[in-house]
Amino acid sequence: MPIIGAFVVPHPPLIIPEIGRSEEKKISNTVSSYKEVASRIKTLEPDTLIIASPHSIMYADYIHISPGAHAEGDFGQFGAPKIKASVDYDPQLIEKISDKAGLEGIRAGTLGARKPNLDHGTMVPLYFINQVMSKYKIVRIGISGLSYLDHYRMGIAMAKSTDELNRRVVFVASGDLSHKLKADGPYGFAPEGPDFDAMITNVLKSGNFADMLRFDESFCEKAAECGLRSFIMMAGALDGLSVKPELLSYEGPFGVGYAVAAYTVLGEDPERLFLKQYLEQDNIELEKYRSNEDPYVELARSSLEYYLINNKRMRLPVDIDKELLSEQSGVFVSLKLDGRLRGCIGTIEPSTENIAKEIIQNAISAGTRDPRFEPVTLKEMKRLVYSVDVLKPAEPIRTLSELDPLRYGVIVSNGDRQGLLLPNLEGINTPEEQVKIALRKAGIPETSNYQMERFEVIRHH
């Protein structure tokens, strides 16, 4: 049985009267919508609730599912220890989801449990649900630093699991919207805040979940959003299903956006296979991108692909551009997957006899030896996007005023420690940010004496 219903809900602790102390009256529409959601869930008579919470256990590269048979929690950290919740988990469904995720190549499961108590992202929805019903089990799942696409695929894996076990399951996606709606709010104001809330509420209202997969991560980070990955998992669980979307309410008087939305499942709909559509469109764009590759990028891509398939380094192509053979330079090769960095390795100064060999060496290293990432897999290989930066000679500088993050990269050094940051990187807008990140990469304290150099690059992508 597929997912029988789904809901988006916020989780402000102050919505609990004992915590809000009348402040909850300022979000009365949210309170009313929450009560409506609880009533609808009761009517659906689910066996199990899947609750996705951004405040459950979170890892950078692993989606955590809470293990065990039982869990409890309270609002003690918010001054209301007597407000408690106690739930029974659904161990069979938890195991099925973990196994299914593994088969789908998604890094997810019950390993690394650190906080057995229920988090407030789970407790707030349960506060309203428990007022109208009690006979249900739950699966509590966190979000991660993995891509939007991985979270969508995780939602699909959950839906397949519920279907195979013939469970009646309702998906509750817990999450606030932007935390930067007002200058006098607890997190201040950013122009991306209201823009994000307008975009996501339009998606929630229309039910066109494919749009969420195209959200720019840097923009969302500046908006300080909370629940997007929860919503994307819910969308994945509804992939291929016809739904009646309803945005029940939206409010943000405290500088944080609160949306409540409901999705009534009407049946199957092949026009709403959003993952399939996304991948098909992505493949079209990748083919277009590859048809316009310059010789530098083409060499980087073919080098890594050859290595992954044959487990050895390719020879120089006979028809290689002569410029790649006649010059030496430091080279950085960067890989992106679904718009996110997947590997980046380079050399500040030339370490081989020409740029071509520098590219081959660093492309293979970027895909297999970047310590921040697992090696690229054959499944990922065809979806990578490459860029190649050829470094110009560096020159010493004395002050930050001599840097421009769009034009210059920076090298910081102290003794045998050295850190580099390329120019024109997304999200790096000031020299201060640029140098701070380069120092962190090198393990050089900001308070120490260090030297700076700047350099320009010729970027091929």
Task: Tell me the per-residue pLDDT of 140-152, one tens digit each, with 9 for 90 and over.
Answer: 999 999 999 999 9
- For 70, residues 6+ apart whose C-beta sits below 8 A from its C-beta are 86, 87, 88, 89
* Tens digits of residue pLDDT in 239-260: 999 999 999 999 999 999 999 9
Q: Are strands 169-174 and 241-251 parallel, antiparallel or unpaired?
A: unpaired
What residues does CATH 3.30.700.20 cover in the chain? 291-460
pLDDT category at 322 given cuts 50, 70, 90 is: confident
What angle do the packed helices 228-237 and 192-206 form, to 10 degrees?
20
Whether the per-residue pLDDT at 289 is higher than 90: the answer is no
- Please, what is the average pLDDT of the chain? 95
* pLDDT over 90 at 340, yes or no: no
Residue 364 CA from chain centroid, whole number: 25
**How many Cα atoms are found within 13 Å in the side-chain-facing hemisphere of 367?**
30
Q: How far apart are CA 368 and CA 205, in angstroms?
A: 42
Q: At what angle do helices 28-44 and 120-129 cross, to 10 degrees?
A: 70
Give the CB-side neighbour count of residue 447, counting CA atoms within 13 A.
0
Please determine, for residue 427, whether its predicted confidence score (pLDDT) is greater than 90.
no
Give the H/E segment covering residue 244: strand 241-251
What confidence tens digit (pLDDT) does each residue in 363-397 have? Answer: 999 999 999 899 999 989 989 999 999 999 999 99
Please give the Cα distance from 172 to 125 (Å, whole number).
8
- What is the predicted pLDDT for the residue at 175? 98
Query: What are the residue ranges of CATH 3.40.830.10 in the chain?
Result: 5-277
Q: What is the per-residue pLDDT for 162?
A: 97
pLDDT at position 43 over 80? yes
Element (H, E) at 383: none
Per-residue pLDDT at 139: 98
The DSSP element (H or E) to which 15 belongs, if any, is none
pLDDT digits (tens, 9 = 90+) for 54-76: 999 999 999 999 999 999 999 99
Q: For the domain bounded by 291-460, which CATH number is listed?
A: 3.30.700.20
Give percent above pLDDT 90 in the chain. Answer: 88
Q: What is the pLDDT of residues 152-202, one digit of tens each?
A: 999 999 999 999 999 999 999 999 999 999 999 999 999 999 999 999 999
- 86 Cβ contact list (under 8 Å, min separation 6): 70, 71, 72
CB atoms inside a 10 Å sphere around CB 32: 13
The CATH class for the domain spanning 5-277 reads: alpha beta
Residue 323 binned pLDDT confidence (cut-offs 50, 70, 90): confident
Average pLDDT on 103-115 reads 90
Q: Pick 76 or 115 by higher pLDDT.
A: 76
Q: How far apart are CA 210 and CA 206, in angstroms?
A: 11
The reported pLDDT for the residue numbered 346 is 95
Q: What is the largest distance, in Å, between two alpha-carbon atoms of the chain? A: 76
- Does residue 4 or residue 372 have the better pLDDT? 4
Question: How does residue 318 score in pLDDT terms, banded at 50, 70 and 90?
Answer: confident
Q: Closest Cα partner for 200 from 155, 150, 247?
A: 247
Q: With helix as H, strand as E and coil as C, how does 201-225 read?
A: HHHHHHCCHHHHHHCCHHHHHHCCC
- The confidence score (pLDDT) of residue 285 equals 87
292, 296, 409, 443 from 124: Cα distances, Å = 51, 53, 46, 41
